[in-house]
A and B are shown apart, each in its own frame.
Chain A
Amino acid sequence: MVFNAFRRRLLLGCAFFLGLLTPIAAGEISGTLSFEKKPPSVGLAYMADDHGLSKSDNPKLDQKDQQFIQPMVVAPVGAKISFVNSDNTDHNVYAADADAGADFDIGLASPGSEIEQEVTWQDDMVIKVGCKIHPKMRAYVASVDSRYHQVIEFDRTQKTHNFRLEVPASVSVFRLWLPNYEPVEIKIEAGKEATAQLIKKGKIYGSITLKRN
């Protein structure tokens, strides 16, 4: 994510110099998530009305200590995800998500191997990937093409979490995805605040507050 933000700034900077783009007033959305119980392990916040994320980034999803190192990667349709096995044991990454049309199995991946998988399934979906040998391993792939996104890793001992998302003036549709929760969509303009409930299986489990400067 840090890399993405840096690259974005670099791109914006170049565009500014070349005079290809009128300078955009970069703003920020700050958010607070409050959970009544243990939070989920990970979430994704993104601006759904941007579609500029490059397909040629080849995000990596690494495995070590019988875990996926990143809880989630963001990879737009057409991008190739690299499954890297940095562990000293074999893994077998797969996904089977009928709703998203995602069904792949990279087979036996020995320590040190790197296997690519193209995102060929539906746009704007979050799918679960797992390991056929170690079912406790879990990560997510978001087929999202927004440059303005942030993967939020939750410290599960804390009930309140803050995040910030840098956003240009051109976008206003904020979305939050949390595993097993109903997705949240909030349209938010500069200078405004908004709140929404976090709902899982029809029950309220927390809330989100946004503030855009």
Chain B
Amino acid sequence: MRLYNLAPATAKAAVVLLSLCLGIGLFAQPPIKTPDPFDIEYPDDEEPSAEQVALGKVLFFDKRLSGKQNMSCASCHNPDLGFGDGFTKGVGSNGTILGRNTPHLYNLAWNTLFFWDGRAASLEEQALGPIQSDVEMNLKLPDLIERLRAVPYYQKHFAEAYPDHQPAVSETTIGHAIASFERTLISDNAPFDRFMAGDTHAMSDEARRGMALFLGKARCINCHNGPNFTDNGFHNIGVSKGDDLGRAAIQKGATTERAFKTPGLRNVLLTGPYMHDGSIGSLEAVVRHYIDAPKQSGTLSPQMEKIELSHLEILDLVAFMGALTDPIEVTPPKVP
């Protein structure tokens, strides 16, 4: 009797599941889910110590890292602005407008290559880039090391965090500390995560419909897949029309021209304006780009499938992206 009563519901669930499977190509993409800390690849498989992370946080907020001592990492990657700056393109310490948009820093612990064109292979390597760049922080590393060694706080804390390193303040330890702090910027408790954990009320009806579209006919899943909604890959989605060749400037190939890194979409509501050049102002406009771009240009990534969405469906997709919001509160440390 009982079984009989349940049968229609089970059958319905099976049909829903089946159509979902078909819609997303039999689960062929890495599934969207809550990220697993076990999958983080630390350099040499060593998790950083609490001291190293705390030191990295202070460095991230310290304006000593720029030549004129007027800019820290947090000036551009502002925790209150989704670890971006809200500008179309970044602005350097002497006012120069940079070539690209400042990306967010959420869940980069799981990422493989860094920058929009993937030119840095680790967060450690990446961190030393903006410090030395003459249009960004414009400070030579030996000068930075000298500056930090002159501060008693840093003398003490570098020595404590890196007892095996002689000297304790070095390019290696500065890069390691900053990267270690960045790997703690983890957002994994959005309404989407609670929904996946079984709390069906965590996402609105709109967001749930948006999720089905995201996985299904809107084809976002082609590239925004895996726990952080990125394949960590490079695609030409038709944003760059000027001379920024993206990945191709780093690696030649049939698939790298005007290809840029797929950004992770966690907290995407907070990280506008969007794209490598900051050229799209709202999430609604982003979705419209995916409807329009495949109709205009023939040289896009083959994963840019032609899609059609109604106005309501566009809003549903935006609602789903909104359900990926779980801001990270970072209290700025006391910089010595």
Contacts and interface: CB of A to CB of B under 8 A. Distances in A.
A132 B113 CA distance: 12
Q: Is the interface of A mostly helix, strand, loop or mixed?
A: loop
B234 to A, nearest CB: 6
A52 to B, nearest CB: 37
A136 B253 contact: no
Interface of A: 37-38, 64-66, 87-90, 92, 94, 105, 107-108, 110, 131-136, 157, 200-201, 203
Contact of B255 (A66, A87, A88, A108): A108
B129 interface: no
Contact of A38 (B28, B45, B112): B45
12 contacts: A65-B28, A65-B29, A65-B30, A66-B225, A89-B222, A92-B254, A107-B254, A107-B255, A133-B301, A134-B233, A135-B112, A135-B118
Nearest to B46: A37
A65 B30 CA distance: 6
B102 interface: no
Contacts of B235: 133
B29 A135 contact: no
Interface of B: 25, 28-30, 38, 44-46, 112-113, 118, 222, 225, 231-235, 247, 251, 253-256, 259, 301-303
Given A66-B29, A66-B30, A92-B254, A135 B302 contact: no
Q: Is the interface of B mostly helix, strand, loop or mixed?
A: loop
A90 B233 contact: no
Contacts of A38: 45
A89 B223 CA distance: 9
Contacts of A64: 28
Contacts of B303: 89-90
B112 A92 contact: no
Task: Give the residue among A105, A135, A157 with the most B Cβ atoms within 10 A.
Answer: A135
Given A66-B231, A135-B112, A90 B302 contact: yes
A133 B29 contact: no
A94 B253 contact: yes
A41 to B, nearest CB: 10
Contacts of B255: 90, 92, 107-108, 132-133
A107 to B, nearest CB: 5
Contact of A110 (B112, B232, B302): B302
A108 B254 contact: yes
B44 to A, nearest CB: 7
A203 B231 CA distance: 33
A139 to B, nearest CB: 15
Nearest to A91: B255
